[in-house]
Amino acid sequence: MKLFLGILLGSLVLGVSSQRWLTFLREAGQGTRDMMRAYSDMREANYKNSDKYFHARGNYDAAQRGPGGAWAAKVIR
């Protein structure tokens, strides 16, 4: 709910066009998948003290998606 309200408010305040809105949502979804993949890999590796590496990798991969991915990485971390 907080995610939806944040996106809605941001689009209203900034006057984001529908094309940019869809791109942002797509990037946010892809960034979320990057974070989930890194978490899944961390659980699969089951190696002691490896969590910082996998969290950093997930954040980096998500942020490379664009503004939506960077936003998802910031919210999820």
Cβ-proximal residues to 61 (8 Å cutoff; 6+ apart), any chain: 31, 34, 35, 37, 38, 69
Q: Could you say which of 3.40.710.10, 1.10.132.110, 3.40.1210.10, 1.20.59.10 is the CATH number of the domain covering 28-77?
A: 1.10.132.110
Secondary structure (3-state) at 49: coil
Q: DSSP label at 64?
A: T
Q: In this structure, what are the phi and psi dihedrals at residue 50, rounded to the nearest 5 degrees?
A: -100, 0
- Which pTM was predicted? 0.71
- What ranges do the domains of the chain cover? 28-77
Tell me the per-residue pLDDT of 17-71, one tens digit each, with 9 for 90 and over: 667 778 888 998 999 999 999 999 999 999 888 889 999 999 999 999 999 889 8
